[in-house]
Amino acid sequence: MGIVEEAHNLKVLGSGDRVIVLAHGFGTDQSVWKHLVPHLVDDFRVVLYDNMGAGTTNPEYFDFNRYATLEGYAYDLLAILEEIHVDSCIFVGHSVSAMVGAIASISRPDFFSKIIMISGSPRYLNDVDYYGGFEQEDLDQLFEAMGANYKAWCSGFAPLAVGGDLESVAVQEFSRTLFNMRPDIALSVAQTIFQSDMRQILNLVTVPCHILQSVKDLAVPVVVSEYLHQNLGGESIVEVMTSDGHLPQLSSPDIVIPVLLKHIRYDISVA
């Protein structure tokens, strides 16, 4: 196993001519896809990996400078695809990985037949004529709470992010993977994500994008999905799901998995 594969806990499952890559968001790891993977392995080669900084990765490999921008994660993604000789894939990116896939596709559009974005956002901060959902003061308080008592912050943040029942298995699962992150790494990753602004690169993304969004999401207002649709450079389609929360593939699989499978199997028809 190569260093790239080992560092990212790379797994390739299933069989099929087509490749699908599943990339998780902040505070989780590849286990967030556990409800989706069984539906894919008969028809696809399924590539799973962990973003550097996830609790399942070696913290010694986390380069604070490299991962101070989302480009660092995009370079990792391209290295993974090259390492396992993927010529073209369907890329499913959750949360920050939606933007990571978009960035990677700008330099290597040939690697991506389409990108499926779940709960993605190009910018979390509000701006003139843009609603991202957060003011700087909100983010400063979030970062301060993370730095002061990470475990307490995890306990409060997990149910807010997941939504729904406080005692749900999904909340417990997200709490576990969130708490598995080393606190200083988690804070650095959160700062990189929440302070990011990818709006200026959206028009450079030419790969077809399927934008999936929960109707209620603490981190990403529904209007953001429409903003992506209007500003991406290639074909795109939006579907707002009746799910609640930022990790709907984990918390509402009965709603989300059929929608995901539909968008994986069918391309955007260009009239």
What amino acid is encoded at 62 in this protein?
F
Cβ neighbours of residue 75 closer than 8 Å, sequence gap 6 or more: 66, 104
Identify the active-site residue in 246, 251, 252, 263.
Answer: 246
CA 160/CA 58 separation, integer angstroms: 28
Cα distances from 193 to residues 26, 94, 139, in angstroms, run: 8, 13, 11
Return the DSSP state at 142: H
Verify whether residue 217 is a known catalytic residue: yes
CA 238/CA 247 separation, integer angstroms: 17
Verify whether residue 246 is a known catalytic residue: yes
Q: Are 241 and 114 in contact (CB under 8 A)?
A: no
Identify the active-site residue in 29, 50, 76, 217.
Answer: 217
What amino acid is encoded at 158 in this protein?
A
Cα distances from 53 to residues 8, 108, 158, 186, 198, in angstroms, run: 10, 24, 18, 7, 21
Identify the active-site residue in 95, 119, 251, 252.
Answer: 95
- For 160-172, give the DSSP string: HHH-S-TT-HHHH
Question: Which residues are known to be catalytic?
Answer: 95, 217, 246
